[in-house]
Chains A and B, each alone.
Chain A
Amino acid sequence: MSDYLWDRSGQPDPEIKRLETLLAPLGHREMPRRSRKLRWTIPLAIAASVLVWVAYRSAGPSWQVSTLAGRPSVNRLGSGQSLRTDSVSRARLQLDDIGEVDIEPDTQLSVIAMRPQEHRLDLKRGIIHAYIWAPPAQFYVNTPSSVTVDLGCAYTLQVDDAGMGVVNVTAGWVAFEDKGRESLVPESAACKTRPGTGPGMAYYSDASHEFKSAVDLFDVTGSQAAADVVIAAARSKDALTLWHLARRVRPGQRERVLLKLAQLKPVEDDPWKTYLLK
């Protein structure tokens, strides 16, 4: 028995066909978009400079490269190829279905993979700003101590010569992971990563200096005293950091963290309630 409405079998019903055509543009489409929450803007004006290029020839898909300043020397960057900017040059990588990556001066970046479900860069050192509209978990950036996993967002990622990195998220979410240790970083928050210890605890950028220092100290030493300061100095929104802390303190100390989480805000307006309380 044919039933066009059910499974499009048989002769199409004209009215249903007309409605399908009329309504299809309202359906889900995988199109590039910028989040309306994005506030970070890139200054385009900069002194003349030269883009330094170190490349290995590679066939296949590639990022389009545009020079934000200076004389353009390359147009594409594919898998296995690298790019390094000098002290005053800046560039932009673009891939239609993935997003854009702006590269600051003194930055060394390589393309590791360009597969349909995995676009991966390697940031050896320097600063990049990523605006990603690909589906979650399709865009990755390796650093010496962690991997950033895009979950639909915009962020700035910085790595120094010692391999230490920090991600600042300006829209959406980023996951930071290394050898099973993970941090989830939302908009307006940051997270550091260090060789040997991997991603630290995520924290909101407007937290107090005391709070951020205690976070740093705990990340590096696991010190109970540092954990005590984090617990004591946490504001309601710092539940983000406490959630990470709860997963990293010794089991005997976890209850104190959980009690603080429960005290911070009423259930009704706590954005973390779905995950933390039942």
Chain B
Amino acid sequence: METTIELPKVTSVDRGFPRLYERYVRMVHGILLARVPRQDVDDLVQDVFLMAWRRLDSLRDMQAFGGWVATIARNQATDFLRRTPKWDELKPDSLRQGPPIPEALAVLETIRSLPEAYRDTLILRLVEGMTGPEIAEQTGLTPDSVRVNLHRGMKMLRDKLEGRSAR
């Protein structure tokens, strides 16, 4: 099997990179929070931006940085979950079994149980404090898609939270 080897191109330090970090760190944090254990998110955020910094030369259109780094974040999350021991995802109905946990963590787990499109946008909106237009602009999704995901996701979240509290 023929193997093509590509060397990473690391140019001199991009002084604009700190500004990119500031602009997109909430988005990356939210994408990772939707997927990996909370205690590993901060380290993975650093890993994502390091990878983005090292591969910045491969990005032809800087306007696409948001969608590009979002993809890196999702891939990093996937790689992390594949190589680490499985963590016990807290399911909403397990609240009655184990010791009490803060409500915020319970709601986070409920959001994590939603479909990916709703999960990501809700975490970016409710946890990271981004508005819908910001989410669309940074992730590369269309505003209409984000708006639909927010509203459908919120409805699904309400139903789940109400269903849990009714027990």
Contacts and interface: CB of A to CB of B under 8 A. Distances in A.
A244 to B, nearest CB: 10
Contacts of A8: 131
A16 interface: yes
Nearest to A179: B12
A277 B5 contact: yes
A163 B125 CA distance: 51
A161 interface: no
A119 to B, nearest CB: 11
Contact of A19 (B12, B25, B38, B107): B107
Nearest to A7: B131
Contacts, number: 122
B30 A117 contact: no
A26 B19 contact: no
A136 B45 contact: no
A152 interface: yes
A255 B54 CA distance: 22
Nearest to B39: A36
B150 A136 contact: no
Contact of A6 (B10, B12, B25, B150): B150
A16 B126 contact: yes
Nearest to A153: B46
A15 B122 CA distance: 14
Interface in A96-146: 117, 135-138
A246 B104 contact: no
Give the interface centre of B15, B50, B133 by most chain A CB atoms within 10 Å. Answer: B50
B147 A22 contact: no
Main secondary structure of the interface of B (DSSP, over half): helix
Contacts of B55: 275
Given A5-B154, A22-B103, A278 B13 contact: no
A278 B42 contact: no
Given A151-B53, A275-B54, A138 B7 contact: no
B51 A27 contact: no
B103 A137 contact: no
B22 A278 contact: no
A25 interface: yes
A7 B136 CA distance: 11
B13 A177 contact: yes
B164 interface: no
A215 interface: no
A182 B154 contact: no
Given A5-B151, A6-B132, A182 B12 contact: yes
Nearest to B147: A6
Nearest to B83: A269
Nearest to B151: A5
B126 A19 contact: yes
A95 interface: no
Nearest to A25: B104
Interface in B113-167: 125-129, 131-133, 147, 150-151, 154, 158
A111 B24 CA distance: 29
Interface string B11-23: 0111101110110
A-B pairs, 10 with minimum CB distance: A28-B29, A6-B132, A275-B8, A152-B46, A23-B127, A27-B128, A27-B127, A258-B5, A7-B131, A135-B21
Interface of B: 3-8, 10, 12-15, 17-19, 21-22, 25-26, 29-30, 33, 38, 42-43, 45-46, 49-51, 53-55, 103-105, 107-108, 125-129, 131-133, 147, 150-151, 154, 158
Given A136-B21, A152-B46, A262-B3, 14 more contacts: A3-B147, A5-B125, A16-B126, A19-B126, A22-B103, A26-B105, A36-B43, A37-B43, A136-B18, A137-B21, A138-B18, A182-B10, A262-B5, A275-B6
